[in-house]
Amino acid sequence: MNRIPIPAGMETECFILDSNALQDVPKVLSEIFPGRRPWIVADGNTWKAAGERVQNLLLEGGLNPHEPYLFPAEPLLHPENCYIETLVNARPAGAVPVAVGGGTINDLVKRSSEVAGTRYLCIPTAPSVDGYTSFGAAMLVDGLKKTLPCAAPLALVADTDVLRSAPPAMAAAGYADLFAKIPAGADWIIADAFGFHPIREDVWALVQKPLRNWLSDPADLHALLAGLAATGYAMQLCRDSRPASGAEHLISHVWEMEGVDASHGFKVAVGTLASTALMQEYFRLSPAELEAMAVPPRTRPEREQEIDDLLRPGVYGTEAREIALSKFREPAECFAFRREATAKHAVLGRRVEEQLIPFGEVREMFRRAGCPVHYREIGVELEQFLHAIRTAQLIRTRYTVLDLLYETGVFEALLPKIIPYFN
């Protein structure tokens, strides 16, 4: 049994990563959840990938598992809050939920376990997301993508044979999700510079210091899993997804709410490219150029109209408008912020440049990993691409480069400048 070291203070107590690690599941369950019967939650695909074998191993090990709960293989399952009550009601009394699947199954089991007041074991079937070890679950709640509070799994058993048998696109999605920590880190630097969310050095070091090594070889499954797991631990420490996501994830959330039929990681890949391009364009401008490009701050009625126009499709949930308006600055406050942004522009630009990987290099790294490098590869056309970037600024209170561009008055002027990046 190959136990991977876990930083002190984590909710997750056991992480097994090894070939044929499924054989260890009965032992881990007996150790971590003594005397309790397991209950597998999977879908039709992940049941075939690993769930059926785990159920048989549990039977052979004398753990007397409950009948599994299986979501259909088709259509594609989404992390919608409506499934939580279903799982809570379906869980046998005293059972230990065992999530066998990808990010969606894990999030559904994580959140339903929190609601039911129990902990769970996670068996990932693809190296596709950073959420396996994270605090919180990304859920669609009344149409709005939200991160709901819930504890990470008590134990994680990752079988490298199962993970390698997953479709290559799923590993590419995981690589993109891990790579997103580069621009997400730049967004954290921006938020820190203006006092919105100070950087925690212990959390920063956990992810950002080894990040480029983890990304150096897309085929290195152990490095990918180590990076994704460490990101989850960082979220556990922060009780927040700030270490893992920035503007690139907000853009992907818009497409998720709009029903764009691509994996989370692939949507994040395109969001990463967009965020990187926007940061490069913004920080290559001089303060004088920024001032010349800036439009006057909106009045509240003007901003309300702007928000209503962006949210007109009506798929972003009832809370989106309220969140967007909570970020509104009166013109006088906005002018004061612009003066601060101008004063910090050069120093902040150097910090962001040091953090980012240049757009051209990002694109080549994504190509090597099998990730999309153009919005059309995820089924999005130019108008929807630009609309997602505009709308992403509205849906979370988290401060990112999108807020900086809007508040300095250059958002609309910079958007056309990133289009050639994708030509």
Q: What is the pTM of this model?
A: 0.94
Q: 151 with 129: CB under 8 angstroms?
A: no
pLDDT in tens, 111-151: 999 999 999 999 999 999 988 999 999 898 888 888 899 99
Query: What integer pLDDT is reported at residue 146 of this predicted model?
Result: 87
> pLDDT tens track of the chain, all 423 residues?
899 999 988 999 999 999 999 999 999 999 999 999 999 999 999 999 999 999 999 999 999 999 999 999 888 888 899 999 999 999 999 999 999 999 999 999 999 999 999 999 999 999 999 889 999 998 988 888 888 999 999 999 999 999 999 999 999 999 999 999 999 999 999 999 999 999 999 999 999 999 999 999 999 999 999 999 999 999 999 999 999 999 999 999 999 999 999 999 999 999 999 999 999 999 999 999 999 999 999 999 999 999 999 998 889 988 999 999 999 999 999 999 999 999 999 999 999 999 999 999 999 999 999 999 999 999 999 999 999 999 999 999 999 999 999 999 999 999 999 999 999
202-228 burial code (b ≥16 CB/10 A, e <16): ebbebbbeebeebbeebeebebbbbbb
Q: Which two tokens stand for residue 123?
A: 């068996």
- C-alpha pair distances (Å), 146 with each of 2, 141, 338, 398, 406: 34, 7, 30, 12, 22
Helices (H) and strands (E) in the chain, counts: 20, 8
Domains of the chain plus CATH, in order, are 14-166 (3.40.50.1970), 175-197+242-422 (1.20.1090)
Q: 244 with 234: CB under 8 angstroms?
A: yes
| DSSP 3-state of 190 | helix
pLDDT in tens, 44-66: 999 999 999 999 999 999 999 99
Return the percent helix, strand and coil in the chain, to nearest 5. Answer: 60, 10, 30
- C-alpha pair distances (Å), 249 with each of 23, 27, 180, 267: 35, 37, 8, 8
Q: 122 with 155: CB under 8 angstroms?
A: yes
Q: Which two tokens stand for residue 153?
A: 């799994």
